Amino acid sequence: MADTQLGIVLRPTNFNEVIGQDHAVTVMKGWIDKGEVPRAIMLVGPAGTGKTTLAKIIARECQGWEWTTREDFKPDVLEINAADYNGVDDVRELVELTQSYPMEGKYRVIILDEAHMLSKPAQNVLLKPFEESNSATIWIICTTETAKIIPALVTRCQRFDLKKMSKSDVHDLLARAAKHTGTADFAEFEAIAIREGLNQPRPLLNAFGNFANGMPAAEAVNGQLNTYGSAPNAIAFATVYGDWDKDTSYEVKGRKVERKAIKTYLAELEADFKKKKKAAEAADAEPDDGEIEDKDTVEAASRPEVSRVIRAITASMLKGEILKGNTKAVHAIHLFATAIPSNAFDAAVEYPATVGLLFRVNATMTGRSYK
């Protein structure tokens, strides 16, 4: 039985395991070898390219060999989602932490994910601590949108623009995943992934996990394409392992992973549908200048298409649970067997029907009554 969350299970824990970011890794290793780690680092790139992963590796490796060789060593790392912690007072609290030394290790490391969500005044608070070259705190900010970071803050950081993987990088990563899952032949999956441009580690591994569990290669890849985003995979995973109404958490190899309530994911997906519809309408209203539109911002996958992807991923995960001997999953998969085939649905009905199916599956997996 293969893991469905390979993006978590195979997440690199040291520089030698990183695939596809050679330029950044070479420089970072040089810092650490010389003991000259910058106090402010910016990692830029699309979602899934490994920004947070690299940040966590830096957080451990910068402590020096005398610390990192200890298996029980846990560096003082604070990971913050700037979308939820973006005000002036929030950032001032973080800055106060830099006035003291860490409890263990050479450096305290503060990782700010989604740093572009910080308010402008909050970013200004960071200007001074980012200039303190002898501080015991290392700041690492991760962002997908540098345009929203004030220039003065950008210039204080050592910046790295993480790239999507090349064809050879994709092959190397898939070979690692195939070895982990015991998958003998992945040539078809690799060809489809390269053809469709699925070249970011996390979505690529998540798709391969579904493929290794029996999902057709094309469906597994389509479930992770930018047209759909990561929502279908998150919704499917929460349906099988999470809760309809409550956020949940679980551990994978000692790492705590948070999972939102299913209804929260569905609400976010609905908001995305509306946003992309408005973008498409705006694009249609503009005169044609002969340029190719950005597919991610204009072309929104329809609700029926997303419905099919969600059902396919959910069914694959249930299959995995059945192979483990989970009897609840056996009952849940019967709900799919009795569902109306997608080609018999009216387009306006398919998505709401899928939401209802997800509710029943989750109720079956959690043991709650839905009758």
State which of 161, 196, 212 marks the end of a domain.
161
What range defines the domain where residue 64 resides? Answer: 21-161
- Distance, in Å, from the CA atom of 127 to the CA atom of 139, rounded to the nearest integer, reads 11
**What is the average per-residue pLDDT within 321-334?**
90
Write down which residue in 161, 180, 200 finishes a domain. 161
On whether both 143 and 111 belong to a single domain, the answer is: yes
pLDDT beyond 80 at 53: yes
Closest CA to 1 of 205, 233, 216, 181: 181
- Over range 361-366, report the average pLDDT: 93
Q: Which of these three, 161, 195, 211, is where a domain ends?
A: 161
Query: Hey, how many other C-beta atoms are within 10 angstroms of the C-beta on 328?
Result: 16
Q: Is residue 97 predicted with pLDDT exceeding 50?
A: yes
Instruction: Band the pLDDT of 276: cuts 50, 70, 90.
Output: low
Lowest mean pLDDT among 32-36, 85-89, 124-128: 85-89
Q: In terms of domains, do 258 and 304 share one?
A: yes
* Average pLDDT along the chain: 82
175 and 154 in a single domain? The answer is no
Residue 320: pLDDT band (50, 70, 90) is confident
Instruction: Tell me: do 313 and 265 sit in the same domain.
Output: yes
Domain count of the chain?
A: 2
Arithmetic mean of pLDDT, 348-368: 88
Using the Cα atoms of residue 229, residue 169, residue 316 and residue 365 in order, give the sign of their dihedral: negative
Mean pLDDT of the 279-301 span = 43
Looking at the domain assignment, is residue 11 inside a domain? no
What CATH number is attached to the domain comprising 81?
Answer: 3.40.50.300
Mean pLDDT calculated for residue range 84-109? 86
Residue 12 lies in a domain: no
